[in-house]
Amino acid sequence: MIAVRNLVKTIRNGPHEVRIIRDISFDVPGRQFVAVMGPSGSGKSTLLGLLAGLDWPTSGSILIDGEDITKLREDEMAQLRGRKLGFVASLV
């Protein structure tokens, strides 16, 4: 199961902060397939990068089978990716 709680991702663009992900929460039951769709620039790739542990959120938590991946070291995250995550990219 994936549980996302109060996820926020903010980046700096010069003197400005840009909030890419704005306080989202959702659950994905185990062994389910999910499609992430939306307009260009809506944060889809950022969200997938966060879920894969390739980037870290500004705040919030991402739990995969009860383990908060935002607290893992790089090597621990790599092991978790190999055991529990899979992505299929589709350009339409």
pLDDT at site 4: 98
pLDDT in tens, 76-89: 999 999 898 877 77
Helix (H, G, I), strand (E, B) or coil at 42: coil
- Residue 79 inside a domain? The answer is yes
Identify which of 45, 49, 41 has the alpha carbon closest to the alpha carbon of residue 70: 49
pLDDT in tens, 20-56: 999 999 999 988 888 899 999 999 999 999 999 999 9
Residue 51 one-letter amino acid: L
18: domain CATH number is: 3.40.50.300
pLDDT in tens, 5-16: 999 999 999 999
- Residue 59 inside a domain? The answer is yes
- Residue 69 inside a domain? The answer is yes
pLDDT at site 92: 64
- Residue 54 inside a domain? The answer is yes
pTM reported for the whole predicted model? 0.87
Q: Domain span at residue 55?
A: 2-84
pLDDT at site 86: 79
Q: Which residues of 1-35 are buried (b: 16+ CB within 10 A; e: fewer)?
A: ebebeebebeeeeeeeeeebbeeeeeeeeeeeeee
Domain count, the chain: 1
